[in-house]
């Protein structure tokens, strides 16, 4: 839909697919065609590559085309965008290793045709190495197609905000947000290299065609900026707008903030579904800073909603309808209010005592999003099971493990603490970047289990209800390389069969597809699919929560659970129990950097929004959306 109105907003061609798998199928097919055309002409194809989570599904598809479709890469020359600096090629997080593990080891590309900037050269030689990289690109005839991802700072390659349009391959300092994003991979922010070598914006712009890929809700804001905002230094991806053959290939979640999705009435004549009118009217109320019930026809007409008010108005009727819809989402009874008329309530009144299953991809996701709701469910006597799908061991910094191990050794007076002593030995022997041994991961998992228990205790949840599933996809994997398998799905299937819940709380439906949350959701979805047809499944409500820092918008929310000031305190305490997840280095100059601060601020923000609509004024609100597969 590249119509005139759309072009008024979007400054670069955008393609949107239902999910990343469908998107990469198109891009991979295009690459395959180009490679084959060049093969037929006896020429090379020069492909620019990226690392990170985003291109992983693309590389999987290229490997599949090689294996199943006979696509040969023998005439392909590759140039990667960037590499951390300094870093050894064998370092588990180096992009050299990443590319081998994700692509090169599985295709027939000759080694001498692969180029990745080196993080191994001496500091004094970086400049020359960068120049040589540029020369190698030129010698190959320039890049035919460059694949790009986008960072939350708007970076492309490692061209952080401030990078000039004409910058070339060079050494750069990494942005704080980029380092935070990489902290998990490097097992702590302090392990992330401070620098990187990256192709410049100018180098990237020289490619004959550019394809920027983005998946997941976490990229939605930056995608909007890059597609619809003015080109500017503070958002390097926006420079791509000036390229004659650049396009963005997105999944629905990363495209969700674009005007065509957020405010489709501004780019055409949309189908005014109940959800869309709710969205439009909620936005109108907030943008005019007027409670819903005070909006008048003129407000609609002056703000691009004439069609809506003409078709479905007058304003007063529309206002009341939306007011009631939002009002009906609010409930202090997330498990349903016994003996109440539930016609307009999010949950059913019966059975009064429900079997509730809370799925938390990693420990802490549960309390971040729904500690208040959990407290209420517990207080209302529901039969709760909280299942941690993964151990979360990868998220525990070595320092935390050392702290705990030393404590155990001292407390046992050096006598029996066999595991703890072995852990300390391993920590001494292990380099900061080395992968954890099985034993160390196990020990780190204990830390997270302990934190999870302490957190649930704060919420008043009976601790015997906790299940640690330690799903194999996580235990045997690393970040970005998780592969869901039969063992994962059957484990969850067993749990579902055993607990036969009336309600499931889950997350990850629109997360980055390679994230732990997305994998956790995939496992749940597949397991539930197998059980379809069983009576309890048909009767089960699945409530989606978000723990990734982005709450559901008011127009999407189907259940809003208020928290009192006291409940909010409990929530903060619950999250605070996840000690290993607090920042390792105190940050004094920034506000709300800790997970608990952010979660509380978000829930308060939601309450403020409801208040601005003219609904009741609460301290905080947690939001849920019903999943209807
Ligand atoms: C990596 C690169 C970066 C990433 C960006 C997004 O080679 O150039 O610009 O594309 O940081 O990272 P992910 O894909 O992990 O979200």
**pLDDT per residue over 178-188, tens digit each?**
888 888 788 77
The verdict on the CB of residue 151 being under 6 Å from ligand 1 is yes
Let me know: does 610 contact 326? Beta carbons within 8 Å: yes
Q: Are residues 70 and 14 in the same domain?
A: yes
Q: Are residues 290 and 187 in the same domain?
A: no
Ligand 1 center from residue 82 Cα (angstroms): 9
DSSP per-residue codes, 363-431: TTHHHHHHHHHHHHHHHTT-EEEEEESS--GGGS-HHHHHHHHHHHHHHTTTSS-HHHHHHHHHHHHS-
d(CA 101, CA 481): 9
Give the residue numbers spanning the domain of 276: 270-329
Tell me the pairing of strands 82-85 and 195-198.
antiparallel
Residue 429: burial class (beta carbons within 10 Å; 0-12, 13-18, 19+): exposed
E strand or H helix at 176 = helix 176-183
Q: What is the pLDDT of residue 3?
A: 61
Ligand 1 center from residue 506 Cα (angstroms): 27
The total number of residues written for the chain in this structure: 629
d(CA 481, CA 464): 32
Instruction: Please choose, from the candidates 235, 213, 216, the residue with its C-alpha nearest in 3D space to the C-alpha of residue 226.
Output: 235
Torsion of CA 206, 208, 213, 218, to 10 degrees: 30
**Domain assignment of residue 416, yes or no:** no
**Domain assignment of residue 140, yes or no:** yes
The verdict on the CB of residue 57 being under 6 Å from ligand 1 is no
The verdict on the CB of residue 264 being under 6 Å from ligand 1 is no
d(CA 89, CA 98): 9
Ligand 1 center from residue 380 Cα (angstroms): 45
d(CA 227, CA 241): 7
Nearest CA to ligand 1 atom 15: 52
Q: What is the pLDDT of residue 588?
A: 61
Q: Cβ contacts of residue 450 below 8 Å, gap of 6+?
A: none
Q: Are residues 232 and 254 in the same domain?
A: yes
Residue where one domain finishes, among candidates 208, 227, 260 = 260
Ligand 1 center from residue 418 Cα (angstroms): 41
**Domain assignment of residue 424, yes or no:** no
The verdict on the CB of residue 395 being under 6 Å from ligand 1 is no
CATH at residue 493: 3.40.50.10320
The verdict on the CB of residue 575 being under 6 Å from ligand 1 is no
Ligand 1, from 20, 49, 51: best to mutate by most atoms within 8 Å of Cβ? 51
> What is the three-class DSSP state of 12?
coil
d(CA 243, CA 279): 34
The verdict on the CB of residue 56 being under 6 Å from ligand 1 is no
Tokens (6 digits) for 522: 């995939």
Q: What is the pLDDT of residue 512?
A: 86
The verdict on the CB of residue 258 being under 6 Å from ligand 1 is no
Q: What is the pLDDT of residue 66?
A: 98
Nearest atom in ligand 1 to 95's CA: 7
**Domain assignment of residue 348, yes or no:** no
Ligand 1 center from residue 393 Cα (angstroms): 24
Point out which residues pair with 46 in neighbouring strands.
77
**Domain assignment of residue 423, yes or no:** no
Nearest CA to ligand 1 atom 3: 157
Cα separations (Å) of 160 from 177, 196, 211, 274?
10, 11, 19, 41
Q: What is the pLDDT of residue 1?
A: 44
**Domain assignment of residue 346, yes or no:** no
Phi, psi for 196 (deg, rounded to 5): -155, 155
Q: Are residues 107 and 46 in the same domain?
A: yes
The verdict on the CB of residue 49 being under 6 Å from ligand 1 is no
Instruction: Please choose, from the candidates 80, 58, 218, 84, the residue with its C-alpha nearest in 3D space to the C-alpha of residue 150.
Output: 218
What is the side-by-side order of every strand in the sheet holding 355-360?
A: 466-468, 383-388, 355-360, 503-506, 541-544, 620-626, 559-563
Cα separations (Å) of 384 from 145, 375, 459, 466, 539?
52, 11, 12, 9, 17
Q: Are residues 315 and 253 in the same domain?
A: no
Residue where one domain finishes, among candidates 260, 285, 313 = 260
Q: Are residues 157 and 299 in the same domain?
A: no
Q: Are residues 372 and 513 in the same domain?
A: yes
Q: What is the pLDDT of residue 7?
A: 76
Instruction: Please choose, from the candidates 292, 253, 458, 433, the residue with its C-alpha nearest in 3D space to the C-alpha of residue 375.
Output: 458
Q: Are residues 309 and 245 in the same domain?
A: no
Ligand 1 center from residue 157 Cα (angstroms): 7
Nearest atom in ligand 1 to 480's CA: 15
**Domain assignment of residue 433, yes or no:** no
CATH at residue 254: 3.40.50.1360
Predicted structure pTM score: 0.88
Nearest CA to ligand 1 atom 11: 151
d(CA 234, CA 184): 25
d(CA 121, CA 253): 39
Let me know: does 52 contact 149? Beta carbons within 8 Å: yes
Q: Are residues 467 and 502 in the same domain?
A: yes
The verdict on the CB of residue 163 being under 6 Å from ligand 1 is no
The verdict on the CB of residue 81 being under 6 Å from ligand 1 is yes
Point out which residues pair with 379 in neighbouring strands.
none
**Which one of the listed residues 10, 93, 160, 475 is annotated catalytic?**
160
Residue 463: burial class (beta carbons within 10 Å; 0-12, 13-18, 19+): exposed
Q: Are residues 96 and 28 in the same domain?
A: yes
The verdict on the CB of residue 153 being under 6 Å from ligand 1 is no
Domain tally for the chain? Answer: 3
Residue where one domain finishes, among candidates 288, 311, 329 = 329
Q: Are residues 317 and 383 in the same domain?
A: no
Phi, psi for 45 (deg, rounded to 5): -120, 125
Helices (H), 184-246: 201-205, 220-228
Q: Are residues 471 and 516 in the same domain?
A: yes
Ligand 1 center from residue 367 Cα (angstroms): 29
Ligand 1 center from residue 145 Cα (angstroms): 17
For the question of residue 160 being annotated catalytic, the response is: yes
Q: What is the pLDDT of residue 587?
A: 63
The verdict on the CB of residue 52 being under 6 Å from ligand 1 is yes
pLDDT < 50 regions, the chain:
1-2
Q: What is the pLDDT of residue 185?
A: 81
Ligand 1, from 47, 48, 54, 78: best to mutate by most atoms within 8 Å of Cβ? 54
Ligand 1, from 58, 94, 150: best to mutate by most atoms within 8 Å of Cβ? 150
**Domain assignment of residue 434, yes or no:** no
d(CA 617, CA 87): 52
Q: What is the pLDDT of residue 415?
A: 65
Ligand 1 center from residue 430 Cα (angstroms): 28
Phi, psi for 46 (deg, rounded to 5): -105, 115
Q: Give Cα 459 distance to the centre of its chain.
A: 26
């Amino acid at each position: 839909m590249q119509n005139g109105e759309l072009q008024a907003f979007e400054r670069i061609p955008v393609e949107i697919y239902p999910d990343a798998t469908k998107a990469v199928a198109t891009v991979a097919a295009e690459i395959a065609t180009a490679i084959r055309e060049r093969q037929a002409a006896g020429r090379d194809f020069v492909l620019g590559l990226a690392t990170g989570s985003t291109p992983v599904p693309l590389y999987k598809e290229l490997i599949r085309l090689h294996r199943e479709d006979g696509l040969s890469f023998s005439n392909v020359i590759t140039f990667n965008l960037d590499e951390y600096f300094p870093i050894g090629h064998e370092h588990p997080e180096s992009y050299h290793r990443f590319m081998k593990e994700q692509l090169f080891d599985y295709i027939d590309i000759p080694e001498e045709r692969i180029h990745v900037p080196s993080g191994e050269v001496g500091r004094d030689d970086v400049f020359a190495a960068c120049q040589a990289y540029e020369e190698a690109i030129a010698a190959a005839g320039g890049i035919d197609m460059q694949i790009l991802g986008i960072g939350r700072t708007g970076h492309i390659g490692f061209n952080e905000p401030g990078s000039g349009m004409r910058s070339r391959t060079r050494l750069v300092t990494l942005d704080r947000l980029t380092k935070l994003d990489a902290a998990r991979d490097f097992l702590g922010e302090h392990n992330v290299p401070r620098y990187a070598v990256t192709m410049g914006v100018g180098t990237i712009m020289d490619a004959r065609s550019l394809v920027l890929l983005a998946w997941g809700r976490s990229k939605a804001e930056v995608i909007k900026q890059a597609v619809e905002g003015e080109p500017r230094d503070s958002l390097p991806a926006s420079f791509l707008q000036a390229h004659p053959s650049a396009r963005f290939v997105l999944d629905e979640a990363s495209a969700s903030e674009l005007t065509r999705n957020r405010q489709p009435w501004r780019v055409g004549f949309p189908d005014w579904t109940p959800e869309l009118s709710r969205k439009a009217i909620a936005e109108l109320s907030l943008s005019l800073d007027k409670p819903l019930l005070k909006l008048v026809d003129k407000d609609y007409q002056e703000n691009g909603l004439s069609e809506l008010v003409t078709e479905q108005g007058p304003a007063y009727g529309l206002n009341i309808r939306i007011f009631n819809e939002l009002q009906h989402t609010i409930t202090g009874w997330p498990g349903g209010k016994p003996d109440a008329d539930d016609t307009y309530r999010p949950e059913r009144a019966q059975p009064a005592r429900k079997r509730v299953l809370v799925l938390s991809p990693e420990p802490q996701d549960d309390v971040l999003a729904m500690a208040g709701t959990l407290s209420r469910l517990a207080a209302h006597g529901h039969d709760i099971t909280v299942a941690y799908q993964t151990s979360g061991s990868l998220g525990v910094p070595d320092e935390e493990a050392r702290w705990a191990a030393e404590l155990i050794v001292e407390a046992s007076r050096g006598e029996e603490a066999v595991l703890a002593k072995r852990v300390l030995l391993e920590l001494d022997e292990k380099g900061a970047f080395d992968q954890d041994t099985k034993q160390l991961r196990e020990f780190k998992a204990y830390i997270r289990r302990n934190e999870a228990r302490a957190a649930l205790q704060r919420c008043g949840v009976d601790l015997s209800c906790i299940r640690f599933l330690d799903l194999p996809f996580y235990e045997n994997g690393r970040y970005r390389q998780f592969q869901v398998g039969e063992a994962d799905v059957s484990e969850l299937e067993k749990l579902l069969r055993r607990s036969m819940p009336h309600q499931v709380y889950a997350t990850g439906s629109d997360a980055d597809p390679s994230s732990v949350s997305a994998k956790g959701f995939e496992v749940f979805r597949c397991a539930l699919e197998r059980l379809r047809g069983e009576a309890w499944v048909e009767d089960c409500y699945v409530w989606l929560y978000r723990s990734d820092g982005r709450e559901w918008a008011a127009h999407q929310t189907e259940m809003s659970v208020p928290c009192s000031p006291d409940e909010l305190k409990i929530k903060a305490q619950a999250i605070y129990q996840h000690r290993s997840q607090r920042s390792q280095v105190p940050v004094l100059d920034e506000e709300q950097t800790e997970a608990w601060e952010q979660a509380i601020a978000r829930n308060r923000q939601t309450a403020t929004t409801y208040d601005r609509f003219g609904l009741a004024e609460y301290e905080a609100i947690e939001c849920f959306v019903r999943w209807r597969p």
